[in-house]
Amino acid sequence: MEALNSYILYDSVDVAKHDEGWLVRGHGYQHPTECIKCGACEEACPQSIDIIHQLERFVDAVMPEKKNA
């Protein structure tokens, strides 16, 4: 979600790719393509954010080459 926020804030695929790589390689996060759509995060989210859809949106916009890879 942090990289998605960067994508939205800066309207930049390059910035979002940089942030996504920084989070995955530097901080142990998983790629958004690793989401198994279990829904646990959406059940826990107090703001009812549609996290699964937002992750799909990020992949479509920033890393479409990884979709269904």
Q: Where does this chain bind ligand SF4 (CB under 6 A)?
A: 35-41, 51-52
Task: Supply the angle between the helices 13-27 and 51-62 in degrees, to the nearest 10.
Answer: 110
33 in Cβ contact with 69 (< 8 Å)? yes
Q: Which is nearer to ligand SF4, 14 or 34 (CB)?
A: 34
| Six token digits for residue 51 | 């996290």
> In the complex, what is the shortest distance from the CB of residue 68 to ligand SF4, in angstroms, rounded to a whole number?
16
Q: Which is nearer to ligand SF4, 12 or 24 (CB)?
A: 24
> In the complex, what is the shortest distance from the CB of residue 2 to ligand SF4, in angstroms, rounded to a whole number?
13
